[in-house]
A and B are shown apart, each in its own frame.
Chain A
Amino acid sequence: MTVTESETDTNRPQGKSHALFVDFGQRYGLLVVLAGVVLFFSTYSKTSEAFPSQANLVTLIGNSAVVSVVALAFVVPLTAGVIDLSAAAATGASSIATASVMSRFEGPLWLAVLAGLAVGAAVGATNGLLITRLGLDPIIETLGMSILLPGVMVWYTGGLTITGNISTTLTQFGSLNWWGLPRLLVVLVPVVLATWYLLEHTPYGRQLSAIGSNPKSARLVGIRVERTIWSSMTLGGLLAGIAGVLLCARAGSADTNAGPSFLFPALAAVFLGATTIKPGLPNPLGAIVGVFFVAIAVSGLSIAGAAAWAPGVFNGGSLLFAVWMTTRFARRGGRARGRA
């Protein structure tokens, strides 16, 4: 086919070096800022001793493991444009299921873990069914679920913390190190890599992002939209289940409040992460960067003895700033809307 000579290239971006700069800024801006934060706290006189220490690193990773997996639980359905506000509540339900199998029923560890995963996946699958079969609005449905689950948890536990007879294998896994690093990494790293692989390198991940871009077009290129959304919610639920088991391991107990409290930190990390790696789109690696960005900043600030309000202001501010930067880059670079 001949190329029409009359076609001009008015659509081209404004010169190569500029485009490269914009692209780099979009993709890795948050990482550059993160490096700056690390550098600052490593050299700042008040924190240069405690911040870069191994002990601090271990605490940081240990405390970020659960919220990282909750963030991934958000990312999977969000890639298809469905926000699951009940993921954190499902994490809580899963941790209670794990603890109560060992504590109340004196079941073996493997059964406890399985129960935790099953509860998470079941919550996700239920959400998926209600949304795709009954056509409920995802935000409202999962909001309802995120209120319902804690209620059920309080009813089940009587509001008490479940502590007795938790397997020491599990609690040690949650708190001790191997080779100087938290054992939790043995689960965290593979889960992150698997999610990244699934979303970025398989047809399934591409189907999810097609649905996220335009569900009607997705249907007409042969994607079974309802089924795929349902499976993404189930998968998100399973990730929430994994987070629940890790939460039980980390805390050595389970209560009704811990899980649901991850909702906003994890969600903020997802949106902070949507400003990097794949700008404008929620993505797994970005979400992990988001989690650690916040954790590192909070750690540095608290070591420096900052006032209690400082972490909140810093985190909220950086989220707003990151979103603003992404929007700006998006307008200039012609990613997303902005050009006709």
Chain B
Amino acid sequence: MKIVVMGCGRVGARVSSILDHNGHDVSVIDIDSRSFRRLAADFHGTTIIGTGIDEDILRSAGIEEASAFVAVTNGDNRNIMAAQVARLIFNVPEVVVRIYDPVREDTYRRLGLTTVSPTTTISALILDHVIGAGDQIAPRRGMEG
């Protein structure tokens, strides 16, 4: 399966390395070539320097044949824009986007993107350890925007 990953930080590098190890054809995009050092030593995929919000960069990463696109840069807005380009311009069947801001995550989930919010997920995990799963986990008023 052809997969394009945008952002080669800790998460992007790990996702890319595991997918590559499992035999998938992975292209990983990052604006900083030094980020590619995070990839596993036996990574066989393609690395592309550039910004994933540029259609030409996405094309050179093979987005036209991709079955999945993963947007995991540090910028929520960059991830959101690239994900919409992948979905609407290139019709990539599976698009997963990381959005730190829970409110923005909610907005774009409603618009049909597959979203992951580390803020919500990790907070829930931590709270689970601290106060136990039985307690109600609800954001304080005002935090939901």
**Do A and B share a complex?**
no
